[in-house]
Every structure is written in C-alpha cells, then in structure tokens.
Amino acid sequence: MKNFKVIIFALLFGTAAAAFFSACYSPSPLYGAWADNAGNKISFSDDGSFSATIMDSNGDKKNYSGNYSVVENILTFSKDDGSINTEWDIRGGMLYLIWTDSYGTQLSLTLYHSA
C-alpha cells in the first residue's frame, strides 16, 4: 500500500510539473519571415539562427546569416563581420528595428510579417 501511494504521488507530481513548464513556454513573436518592398528580408528560426538579405547604404543587396538572441526589447545579431545590437518593436504585423550595415551606416527597417 505504501508503494502504491508513492507511485500515485510521483505520477501526480510529474503531471503537475509538466503542465507548469509547458504553460510557461511561449514562442517568440519573431519566428518566421519578415520583408519589405525594398527587398530587405530577415528570417528567424526557433533554433536561434537567422538569415537576412539587406540593401546596404550603397544600394547593394548583401546576404547575412548567423545567430540571434533576444533579451527583452534588445535584439542581438551575431554574424561573420561582427554583431549588431538593436532595439526592436512589433506593432501589429510590422517589425521595427535599426540594422547597421558593413559600412557602419544605420538603416531603419520596417518589415512586414510574411510567413
């Protein structure tokens, strides 16, 4: 009878713990593809990687890829030629952020959620 109570307690505790931890997880609103009409686009994956095509200050499209991390409203892109720290905001289906290109020029991007 004592073993039966221990098994029941373990099952109830395990179920409650699983429900608690799964209820706390919420996916990032950044996941998916974002683009604008100028040809800029950024895709965020749930594994922390990103790929981007950004029109730089010279008017050339440049491809980027690497990892990203989010702490509150700070978004950090880690890429081959350095990292970018920027504030981000989502209003409706639009993502606002400042991208710093390879020349050090800050580009204000407004991207629409496309997928």
- In whole angstroms, give the CA distance from residue 51 to residue 42: 6
pLDDT at residue number 27? 65
Q: State the pLDDT confidence band at 67, using cuts at 50, 70 and 90.
A: very high
pTM: 0.74
Question: Comparing 94 with 102, which gets the higher pLDDT?
Answer: 94
Q: What per-residue string of b and e applies to 11-40 under the rule 16 or more CB within 10 Å gives b?
A: eeeeeeeeeeeeeeeeeeebebebbbeeeb
Q: How confident is the model at residue 80 (pLDDT cuts 50, 70, 90)?
A: confident
Mean pLDDT score, 75-91: 93
Q: Across residues 43-52, what is the average pLDDT?
A: 96
